[in-house]
Structure formats: C-alpha cells, structure tokens
Chain A
Amino acid sequence: MTLQVPEPTTLSAVQALCEVRDPYTRTPEVERLFIEAMRQNIAWHIENSDFYRQLAKQEGFTPDALMTMADLERVPFIHANFFKTHEIMSIPREQVALHLTSSGTTGQKSQMFFDAWSIGSGRRMVDFMHAHLGLVSSEPANYLLNSYEPLPDMALGTANTTMFLTKYAPPQRVTFALRSKGDGSHEFDPFGCVEALRSYAEEGLPVRIIGFPAFLYFTLQRYISLGYPKLTLHPESLVFVAGGWKGHANQEIKKADLYALIRDWLGIPDARIRSSFGSVEHSIPYIECAHHNLHAPIWSKVFVRDVKTLAVNDYAQAGFLQFVSPYITSVPAQGVLMGDLAKLHPGRSCGCGIETDYFEILGRAGTSTNKSCAAAAAELLK
C-alpha cells in the first residue's frame, strides 16, 4: 500500500518532499518543495487544531509568510514539554495509528500520536538514510538489541524504534538486553548479552548491536571482567547507538571512549559505529555520518536558539535545539523546540561529503533542582 498524506491535494508538497530518496542533497528544487510543504503543513494544522490556530494567531503568523529558507525561523515553535502534559491532535482519534510515550526520566511521559502517514513517512526516511549511508545488507545478521524485550501492548517509543531497526539486515538471531520478567517489568541481563556476543563471534555472521549505549557499555565491562579474549567480529558488523544514557547518567562515559572500547574489544571498524539522535516529539531520527556527525536530512531544518531570547544563534553558539519539518500531520509538531542544548555546524566542516548542517548535542537544558517537585506536581495535573 502506498504511503499517502491525509489530504493529497492540500498536502501534495509534503507528500513529494518525503518521497525524495537522497537524504542529504539539498537542491534548490528540494528547498522549494520544503517551503511549500511547510506552508501546507501549517495551513493543515491551523485548520485542524484549535490550539495551533490560536497559537498562530497569537504569534501573528500565516503560512504565506514563508517564502524562503530564511523565513523558516519564523515558524512558531512549540516546546517538546508541552506534549508531555497535553494531547494536541490535528486528526480525529480514529485515525491514530500509533500512540507512543517517551521513556522520560523525570516521570513525565510525552504523548505523541501518529497517523499512518506520519509514522510511515518517518520510517521511510530512516530507510532512505540507512540505504544512503550503506547500512543496509541482505546478508543475515545476529542482533544484540540493547532495548526492552517487546510485550504485546508496549507503547514505549524506544522499543518500537528498535524492532523497526532490525529490518536493515535480515535477523538470524535476536537477543534482547532487557529481558521481560513476565510481570510487565524488565531486567538487564549482562550474562545473556555476553554469551550472545561470544556465540555470535563463533558463528561468524555480521553482528548488529542496536540500542541504548549504557547497556552496551555494561555488557562490555562484564565481558572484560570475565576475562574473555578480545573479539574481531565480521567487518560488516554494525553498532547503532540509539537513545541516551538516561537513568545511568552518572556512569556515562564519553562517546569517543565508548567507541574506542567497541573497536578494541569487538574489532568493529570506526565507520561501522554510528550513534543516532531522536525523540518521540520529533520522530525523525538523525544518524551519524562516517565521521560521527549528526547531519540534518533534507526533510528537516535544524536551528539552535539563544537560551534567553530564543533568537537564532550563529554556528557554534550553544542554545536550544530546534527542528522544523513538514512531515508530521497528526500533531502540530512541525517546529519543535527541544529540551536539549546543542551547537550547529556547517556541513562542509565535517569532511564526510555530506553538505547539510550538523548539530552537536551538549546535554539536557535546564536545572534538575526542582524537577522532582515539578514531576510530582505534573502528575497531579492530569
């Protein structure tokens, strides 16, 4: 079944933009399509969401204000946290194909709703990116998934993403790091992970390790302390880091150090280790290039905004990370202001060949001082 926007005529540019296969070549045509798609997307949400209509009115913003790429910074932005406490939808409930919650550590969970188009086109972008980056293979691979063993009704966004990511090489065997205990909860299983690596190494197939970096790190630590020898996994093996250190933040090590551990103990080449960035509120994933930088694909425009004034920052100036993308039709999250601090860099300065801008994540924005109180309070607001 072909993927189609909810309204083919009024969202034609959105459809067309999301069908472009080359993720990283921003031609003038692509830019024109992007702007047209944004105008259509905004008109769509103004029409279908009372909230967004009011916001656009308050901001004095209309779609025809968007003429060039430079105008994109005027698109009203909505802070990701807003979705934690409100269900904002631009589609009727019957059209919700997927309802995802994020695994927030502050106890507050985002509620994001996706229609078939939004989730489908987002996933397709991931397909395009994997293909372009050479991460797709027809050869079977053994998977170690640093994620939650799925349960039938699990709505966690992360688990969903991980399962989806086994499609880029046919799965021979799949081992989950977080095993289901049968009562709805999960437990990290380091011995199981270590055994999986050992038997995968013996089998000799490419190994794909996907998911949270913390569990990969713990697995490697356990492997090392058990005294096993260094491995050299199949050269087509891949480590795909998705998600942050979250609740294990106090044990986080630098990315460079983790990569060095992986190269050293698993023998996986540097170019085959890729981290990614994504969030439920803005479900386009960003995948590291061969030089480990997160370039924006053509379906999204990345800004960094001053923490006080929210004006757009120059390159290399830290501020709030913001994404502008017209793909999403279910929720007016086309201009999401993230709770992360980041810096933007010009694509060329990376040297990998991709020319779209890339961003560097610096950490969460804001103080945790009152977060516990805030979290407790937020629970009561529901």
Chain B
Amino acid sequence: MTKTHIWQGEWIDDATLESRIATLGQTVETTLANACPLEVILSALDGLSHDLATQGPAYRKLRAYADEAQVAEHDFEAGIAAIRDFTARPNVMQKLSRELGSLDPFNPSRISYAGTIFESWAPLGLLVHVTPSNVFAVAAMALVEGMLSGNLNLVKTSGSDTLFAQHFACVLGDCDPTGRVKDLMIVARISSRRDDLLKAIFQEADGVSAWGNEESINAVKAMVPSGTRFIDWGHKLSFAYLSAEKLGDDASLEAVAREVCLIEQQACSSPQVLYVETDDFELLRSVARRLADQLARISPEFPLASPSAQEQAEITTATQLVKLESCLGGAELITPADGSWRVFVEDKSGLRASPLYRSIWVKPLRRSEIVATLRPLRKYLQTVGLACDLASLAPLSDAFVRAGALRITQLGHMVGNNYVGEPHDGVYPLQRFTRRVTFDPGETCGTITHFAEIAPNPFALPAPRTPVMTKEDFLTYQPKREDEQLFFSSGGSSGDPKVSVFTYDDYQVQMRSAAEGLFAAGLDPTRDRCVNLFAAGHMYGGFLSFFSILEALQAPQIPSGLHANFEEIVDNIVRQKANVLIGAPSWLMEFFEAEKDALLAYGGIEKIFYGGEHFSEAQRKVLMETFGIKVIRSATYGSNDAGPMGFQCEHSKGAVFHLNTRLQILEILDPEEDRPVAEGESGRLVLTSRHRKAMKLDRYEIGDMGRWVPGPCACGRTSPRFELQGRCGDVFRPGATPFFNYNKFVNLLSEHLDYAGHVQIEYGHKVETKSGLLLKLDRNLGLDAKRVSDMLTEKYKELHYSTVENDTIHFEVKLVDPQDFVFVPRSGKIKHLIVRTDA
C-alpha cells in the first residue's frame, strides 16, 4: 500500500493511519505533555523561510514534488512566495504580537503588579484542519497557525489533493534540529467516504477548523461533537461601493475594472458586484457602460485564464439569464464579442454572486438601504471597496459594518494588500485556536512575575553559533535606518562614548522585563513612592529607562533626575513623602553625606535601588546603620549596550543576580578562549539578546566578569544565577607586573579600614625605572596615608610581591580633595582607572 500520510514525521499507509487514529487520544496527551517551546517553532519556521528565499534543500524537495504532481509553475511559485513570507521571523512575531498580544503567549504572566492574578493563552489541544481542495498553501498555513497556537495539528486533505501538504510537513520538520516540531504535524489524505475515520478523529479533537462551501462545512459540522470548538472559514462575497459623490469618478471605475480582471476574481476579496448609490436606472446604466469602457481598455492587459468547463457553464448560464432578464426591462448585458468580460446590470439591490472570470454585477444601493439589503447575507460578506468622500466615510463604514462586512478598503486595494496580523474573516485566527486561562495563586507567588521563572526544568535556549561580538563590533554595527528609533549614549566607566540604538519596541520589551526585575527586588508599586535620581539629557539612558520602568510598574514616581541642587531634591523627597531612592551609588553616597542632617530628620527613606556600579560593604553599612535604610538592592543589572541583563530577588546577596531569561541568553566564557568557563571559575559574561531588532547582539562580550551561582534560590525562581565580579576593565597591569584588580583595592579598604569613600587609581607613568601605581583616596574621611599603604602592601599579595619582594612598582597613596577625583561626566560615576601617558 502506498504511503500517503505523514504522521509526526513518518510516512504511513492507510492501514497504519487507521490504527493510529484508534489511539489518537493517547498520542495527543503524550505530545502535549512534552510541549514544544515556541522559540523552537519560530526557529524552524524562520529556517524554512530562508531556505525558500534562497532555493535551498527544502525548496528543491518541494519543487521536485510539485513537478511530479504536475502543479502549474505559476501556482507553485505563488504558493511558495506566500509560505516564505508567512514563516519569516519578523512576520511571525508581528502576528503573535497583534493576535495574542504577546511574544510569550503561553507563559502565565501577571496582569498587574497589584494583586496576584496571572493570565495566559493555552492551546486547545488537538486541532483538526479540514482544508479546501487544491490550494496547497492553505494547508501549509493552517499547520503554521496551528503550531503557533501551541496545538497538535491534524490536517485532513481531500481524496483528490496532491501530497504537497505532507511534503511541506516533512521539510518543515527537517528545519528543526531538535526534532520536536515534526511531532506537532499530522497530514492525512482521507476521502469523504470514510466518514467513520473522520468521526473518530473529530471525537478526539479540541477544535475543528473547516474550509469550504456551505454544504461541505455543514457536513463537517454535523460530525463534530457539540462542545468542540468549531471554526469555519466559508466562502465570502465582496463588493465595491461607489457613493453618490463619486459617480463621475473614472479613476474609481478603472480601479474596479482592474480588480475584476486580477487573478480572474478568484479571491474571496475580489469584487463581484459594483453597487452604485443611485435610484435612477438610466444613471446606473451609464455608470455600467463607463465601467464596461474601462474593462474594454484594461482587460487585455491581463492574460486570460481559461475557466474549467463547469466554470464556463456557470458563466454562460449567468449571462443567458441576464440577457433574458433584459427582455423584461430593468436589466442589461454588456459584453464584447469575444466574451472576455461581462457586465450584468440589474435594477435590483439584492446581493448576488457572479460567475467570476471577469463578470461583475452593477446594481443600485442607496445608503439608507445598505443594512436592510445586505444584512440577510451577513454570513457571506467580507470586503467592501469603498469610494466616497470624507464626510461619507464614517456613516458608510458604519452601515457596512452593521450589515456584516469585515473589511473596508479602497477600490483597487480589495485583493491582496493584506498586512501581517490582519484579522481573517473578522477574527484573529490564533485567538480562535487557543483558550484564555487565568490563575490566582495568592500570596504564595511572592514577587514572581511569570510561571516560566519557577518552572522545575526551565528550557534553556542555546546561544547562536557565531563568533563572540566585541565592543569594536558593537561600535561599527550599522543598524537599518527604519530601526533607528532611540539613540542612547553608553556611559561606561571606561569613559568612551558609544551609541546604542533601539527600536521603540525593543525598548518597551526591555523596560517591561526590567520592571519585572525591580519588582522582584522588592519595589512595591502599591506602597512605594520613588524618586528617580538617574542622570538625564545628553542621550543618557539612566533617567529615561527608570522612568519607563517605574511607569511599567505603575509605581508613583518623582522624576527628579541627577543634579547638584541637593536641597531641592531633599525638598522633593520630604514634600512628596518618598520612601524609595533610585540612583547611582557614587552620587547617592555624596548626597547622603551632604544632606545628612536633613535626611536623618526626615527618616522616611526605606529602600535604595541602585544601578551602574555597586556599593561596597562599608558603604552599605553606613546607609543601613546611620540612615536606617532597610533594603539596598540593585535595581537592575544592565547597560545601554545590551539592555537589562539581571535582577536581584529578596534573597540575593552582594552581586548575585538572576538572569532576565525573557530577554537574554547568558554564557560565561573562559577569559582567553571561546569555550565555557571551568566549573566554579570566573569568566567573561557574553550575552545574546532575544529581543533587539535595531542591533543584533549575538554573543556580545559585555565587559564584565562573573561566575555561575549553582543551586536553587530561596525565592523559588529556577532561572540561572550569576555573580558579578567587576569589570573586565577593572583588571590592569601597571607595567611588567602581575595583574591587579581595582575592586580588590576597594574591598580591602572597606574590610580593613571601613573606608566607604571614592577610590581612584592612576597607572602607566614611570617613577625612575619603576612602574607607577597611584592610589587616590578622599582626604576627609579620616585616613592616614601610611596606614593605608602598609595595610595594602601587607594584605594585597600581588602588591607585596611587586613592592616588598621585588622592586618593580612605585606604589603611592595620595589623599585628595573630592573635586580632585575624575568623574565620567555622562553618568556621574567615578573613573576607576586612569592611564597616565606621561613618563
């Protein structure tokens, strides 16, 4: 027996199909228990799209089959082009966004930061598609939509169909290296005589999506159990409407003539009737004649396709009937001698189907009659091509919608001209293929924002297999002009200005993700009143991004921004009863120091969320013990380059972060080689952004060092955790010496001398023959330079080695005034290292 069915990647014959249908219920359960991640499906689709665009192996296989099945070349190429576009990643993502409002639709997520309600979409389960004969692209698209909505799909083709849909399922499965996508597709060619098989399939279906004429759809519906969602895509009628003010407009008639000739009117959006807003039959006839003139002129531009014998019979019958009608008056037939097009004029408003192939009715319809005339046929109405002026636009559109029309567009735009995410026949298909489900776990959920972050075996997306992207690559990346929507300057501690480009969509997705992180860190939008103290202007990202983050949280916000008028800021805080400060550690320490009395008097600051740099232990101690701050956590670990990368939960200590898995893929690589770092060791953080259209960040070396933190976190999140260990750039070498780390100096000063002030290192200069290392500290914080020097030399192993054991470094501790420290103007952050080029 020949194998004409595809069952989850396997070709099978009729006998096998029958036996598998008998156990279909179990198959559904097993397949859906092992749900294929959406990302895997998107990758496979995008792979197929590229293949089709470049005539790769999938294209060639489909082409070979089409030749064997004698599919007309033109039809094949048109179908392939449609599939190629349909599966391209940007279009798929747009479709998900528009139809389901989310790129992560099946992940239950909070609907608000107040309360504990989560919602998500969920697949129906087994979705059966009954596709129309001989339009192979429809079966392909049904499979794609069915998978995007998370379902296991069974496409039932008719006995007379080719095996194109089966081959499509094969090549699409081949585009997925994980082998999971093929499990979502079954394509079975079942003749309508095998009602028994169909009924068995429908018994297990959670949804049935049926195409066809009314008769075939009713036949299917009769076999579907009640309670199973039935989604029908029946035949539709479309028409053009010429309002009274446009009766003289020949350009409108030309547009109608073109759409009548285009693809022989075979689209359900092709106009079959031209309605004219008039009462006067003579006027109707004159419009019809002018339309006929346009057809006479334009029809020859479109090569004539031959209708089948049956289609031709339909045309002849309709033409004859109009001719007979004209004997009774109130009708006219206008057709050329070669019969290549025909205009049927009839003085009755009733909507009628035309036999297509360039046949159009011209009928009268007053706007006051639109609803009464058309509403009885509302099941069949789809597109209205409307020509009217602005004053008529709203009332006519309203009338057509009330009559049942679904799509109102311009004449000339009825056919094709669809946009990604456009509703089809009045609905979003993806919403018809899914359910909307809700969850209310109550207090148990803590600050969890989506269920994927507490999944026991979280799905880890692999990083792309491309070379590591360096800062040089970042600087030279040229975004597409249409993606350049937001320009941020990077205020990195190393000082060089960079521009990081985002689309608004990139930005919004990132800010929403960062908001989730800030919520996890303990910002409570129902209680907290926050002061945004990051720097604004000069293309800085700090203030703006936190503005957006707080907005996403709907948290009350005092948008102060960073500036030197500390008194004003204190006044804002006190007046608005702020309890949360959000800003950069260096600036915050200065602020607290300078406004100590006022702030102590106020006593209302409870939480600090910081970004850009870190507080040392000593600094934390000051804030908590002196000022009574209860919570000090990172607001987000992120940068203008890569966006938000990590966040802290209420159990996070020091510089340990949870990864923003919705946004990023993280690798920690060996410092020298492109391989994962050895277990427990520190390495370079390399990030791949999942949502950055403007600049493709694949394996971007962010410039920070870190290590994985294994094991579960007490907060319950299973997302990966890592510990930051300073900038790669904080490591330096004064000369032919060991490496030193700026952070180590800071930590030692904090630990042994309780020093919480600024630290700055200069190196690169020579003192006699030795390499210079100058450590600058704040003179007003009770330090003694010699004590500092002695402590560091004793405690810092590499320093001891380079000064006491060997005499290679000239080490000097200098106590300076605060204004003698060098800051990065853009961010207010202190420059950690200054390279001196003087001798």
Within 343-364 of B, Cβ neighbours of A (below 8 Å) are at 348, 350-355
**B192, B320, B327, B376 pick with most chain A CB within 10 angstroms:** B327
Q: Evaluate contact between A86 and B328: CB separation under 8 angstroms.
A: yes
Give the residue of B193, B235, B310 whose beta carbon is less than 8 angstroms from that of A370: B235
Q: Evaluate contact between B348 and A381: CB separation under 8 angstroms.
A: yes
Q: Evaluate contact between A373 and B328: CB separation under 8 angstroms.
A: no
- Give the shortest distance, in Å, between A58 (CB) and chain B (any CB): 6
A contact residues around B314 at 8 Å (CB): 365-367
Give the residue of A54, A307, A373, A374 whose beta carbon is less than 8 angstroms from that of B313: A307
Of all chain A residues, which has the CB nearest B313? A365
CA–CA, A368 to B311, complex, Å?
9
Q: Evaluate contact between B350 and A380: CB separation under 8 angstroms.
A: yes
Q: Evaluate contact between B235 and A369: CB separation under 8 angstroms.
A: yes
Q: Evaluate contact between B213 and A368: CB separation under 8 angstroms.
A: yes
Q: Evaluate contact between B215 and A368: CB separation under 8 angstroms.
A: yes
A contact residues around B193 at 8 Å (CB): 250
Of all chain B residues, which has the CB nearest A49? B327
CA–CA, A337 to B313, complex, Å?
12
Stretch at the interface among A77-85, A194-202, A208-216, A284-292: A77-85
Q: Evaluate contact between A365 and B317: CB separation under 8 angstroms.
A: yes
A contact residues around B215 at 8 Å (CB): 368, 372
CA–CA, A381 to B346, complex, Å?
12
Of all chain B residues, which has the CB nearest A372? B214
Q: Evaluate contact between A55 and B348: CB separation under 8 angstroms.
A: no
Map CB proximity to B onto A355-379 as digits: 1 under 8 Å, 0 otherwise.
0000000000111111111101110
- Asked whether A307 and B353 contact (CB < 8 A) given A51-B327, A368-B215, the answer is no
Q: Evaluate contact between A373 and B380: CB separation under 8 angstroms.
A: yes
CA–CA, A232 to B671, complex, Å?
97
Q: Evaluate contact between B317 and A366: CB separation under 8 angstroms.
A: yes
- Asked whether A370 and B237 contact (CB < 8 A) given A54-B327, A377-B350, A380-B350, the answer is yes
- Asked whether A79 and B317 contact (CB < 8 A) given A376-B376, A377-B352, the answer is yes
Q: Evaluate contact between B213 and A377: CB separation under 8 angstroms.
A: no
Of all chain B residues, which has the CB nearest A382? B350
Of all chain B residues, which has the CB nearest A247? B215
Q: Evaluate contact between B351 and A82: CB separation under 8 angstroms.
A: no
Of all chain B residues, which has the CB nearest A105? B215
Q: What interface size band does chain A fall in?
A: 20 to 34
Q: Evaluate contact between A307 and B312: CB separation under 8 angstroms.
A: yes
Within 54-107 of A, Cβ neighbours of B (below 8 Å) are at 54-55, 58, 78-79, 81-82, 86
Map CB proximity to B onto A235-273 as digits: 1 under 8 Å, 0 otherwise.
000000000000000100000000000000000000000
Q: Evaluate contact between A377 and B320: CB separation under 8 angstroms.
A: no
Does B316 count as interface, using CB distance less than 8 angstroms?
yes
**A51, A310, A372 pick with most chain B CB within 10 angstroms:** A372
Q: Evaluate contact between B324 and A320: CB separation under 8 angstroms.
A: no
CA–CA, A320 to B324, complex, Å?
17
CA–CA, A78 to B348, complex, Å?
21
Give the residue of A82, A365, A371, A378 whose beta carbon is less than 8 angstroms from that of B213: A371
Give the residue of B219, B235, B328, B354 whose beta carbon is less than 8 angstroms from that of A51: B328
Of all chain A residues, which has the CB nearest B323? A58
Does A135 count as interface, using CB distance less than 8 angstroms?
no
Give the residue of A310, A365, A373 whose beta carbon is less than 8 angstroms from that of B310: A365
Does B33 count as interface, using CB distance less than 8 angstroms?
no
CA–CA, A285 to B494, complex, Å?
100
- Give the shortest distance, in Å, between B260 (CB) and chain A (any CB): 15
B contact residues around A373 at 8 Å (CB): 235, 237, 351-353, 377, 380
Q: Evaluate contact between A55 and B317: CB separation under 8 angstroms.
A: no
- Give the shortest distance, in Å, between B800 (CB) and chain A (any CB): 91
CA–CA, A367 to B215, complex, Å?
13
- Asked whether A308 and B237 contact (CB < 8 A) given A58-B326, A79-B317, the answer is no
A contact residues around B818 at 8 Å (CB): none
B contact residues around A320 at 8 Å (CB): 313, 316
Does B283 count as interface, using CB distance less than 8 angstroms?
no
A contact residues around B324 at 8 Å (CB): 55, 78-79, 82
- Give the shortest distance, in Å, between A221 (CB) and chain B (any CB): 14
Map CB proximity to A onto B361-388 as digits: 1 under 8 Å, 0 otherwise.
0000000000000001100100000000
CA–CA, A378 to B352, complex, Å?
8
Q: Evaluate contact between A367 and B310: CB separation under 8 angstroms.
A: yes
Does B714 count as interface, using CB distance less than 8 angstroms?
no
Q: Evaluate contact between B320 and A79: CB separation under 8 angstroms.
A: yes
Q: Evaluate contact between A54 and B328: CB separation under 8 angstroms.
A: yes
Does B309 count as interface, using CB distance less than 8 angstroms?
yes
Number of residue pairs A-B, CB distance < 8 angstroms: 94
- Give the shortest distance, in Å, between B580 (CB) and chain A (any CB): 63
Does B603 count as interface, using CB distance less than 8 angstroms?
no
Does B321 count as interface, using CB distance less than 8 angstroms?
yes
Does B537 count as interface, using CB distance less than 8 angstroms?
no
Does A318 count as interface, using CB distance less than 8 angstroms?
yes
CA–CA, A308 to B342, complex, Å?
13
Map CB proximity to B onto A41-59 as digits: 1 under 8 Å, 0 otherwise.
0000000000100110010
Does A341 count as interface, using CB distance less than 8 angstroms?
yes
CA–CA, A82 to B327, complex, Å?
12
A contact residues around B321 at 8 Å (CB): 79, 81-82
- Give the shortest distance, in Å, between B318 (CB) and chain A (any CB): 9
- Give the shortest distance, in Å, between B351 (CB) and chain A (any CB): 5
- Asked whether A381 and B235 contact (CB < 8 A) given A371-B213, A372-B213, the answer is no
- Asked whether A307 and B316 contact (CB < 8 A) given A58-B327, A367-B311, the answer is yes
A contact residues around B317 at 8 Å (CB): 79, 81, 339, 365-366
Q: Evaluate contact between A377 and B235: CB separation under 8 angstroms.
A: no
Q: Evaluate contact between B320 and A380: CB separation under 8 angstroms.
A: no
A contact residues around B115 at 8 Å (CB): none
Q: Evaluate contact between B351 and A377: CB separation under 8 angstroms.
A: yes
Q: Evaluate contact between B235 and A372: CB separation under 8 angstroms.
A: yes
- Give the shortest distance, in Å, between A284 (CB) and chain B (any CB): 21
B contact residues around A337 at 8 Å (CB): 320
CA–CA, A341 to B316, complex, Å?
13
- Give the shortest distance, in Å, between B138 (CB) and chain A (any CB): 15
B contact residues around A339 at 8 Å (CB): 317
Q: Evaluate contact between B192 and A307: CB separation under 8 angstroms.
A: no
Of all chain A residues, which has the CB nearest B272? A370
Q: Evaluate contact between A370 and B353: CB separation under 8 angstroms.
A: yes
- Asked whether A308 and B312 contact (CB < 8 A) given A54-B327, A55-B324, A377-B350, the answer is yes
B contact residues around A307 at 8 Å (CB): 309, 312-313, 316
CA–CA, A339 to B320, complex, Å?
12
Within 27-83 of B, Cβ neighbours of A (below 8 Å) are at none
Map CB proximity to A onto B295-332 as digits: 1 under 8 Å, 0 otherwise.
00000000000000111111111001101111110000
B contact residues around A376 at 8 Å (CB): 376-377, 380
- Give the shortest distance, in Å, between B565 (CB) and chain A (any CB): 73
Q: Evaluate contact between B214 and A380: CB separation under 8 angstroms.
A: no
CA–CA, A339 to B316, complex, Å?
11
B contact residues around A310 at 8 Å (CB): 316, 320
CA–CA, A367 to B309, complex, Å?
10
A contact residues around B225 at 8 Å (CB): none
Of all chain A residues, which has the CB nearest B218? A372
- Give the shortest distance, in Å, between B309 (CB) and chain A (any CB): 6
Does B339 count as interface, using CB distance less than 8 angstroms?
yes
B contact residues around A366 at 8 Å (CB): 310, 313-314, 317, 355
B contact residues around A369 at 8 Å (CB): 213, 235
> Knowing that A308-B316, A368-B215, A378-B352 are A-B contacts, what are 12 other residue pairs whose CB atoms are under 8 Å apart, sorted by A's residue number?
A82-B325, A250-B193, A310-B320, A318-B309, A320-B313, A339-B317, A365-B317, A366-B310, A372-B213, A377-B351, A377-B377, A380-B351
Contact surface of A with B, Cβ cutoff 8 Å: 51, 54-55, 58, 78-79, 81-82, 86, 250, 307-308, 310, 318, 320, 337, 339, 341, 365-374, 376-378, 380-381
- List the 5 closest A-B pairs by CB distance, nearest first: A370-B353, A372-B214, A365-B313, A366-B314, A54-B327
- 11 A-B residue contacts at CB 8 Å? A78-B324, A79-B320, A310-B316, A320-B316, A368-B215, A372-B214, A373-B351, A373-B353, A373-B377, A374-B352, A377-B353
Contact surface of B with A, Cβ cutoff 8 Å: 192-193, 213-215, 219, 235, 237, 309-317, 320-321, 323-328, 339, 348, 350-355, 376-377, 380
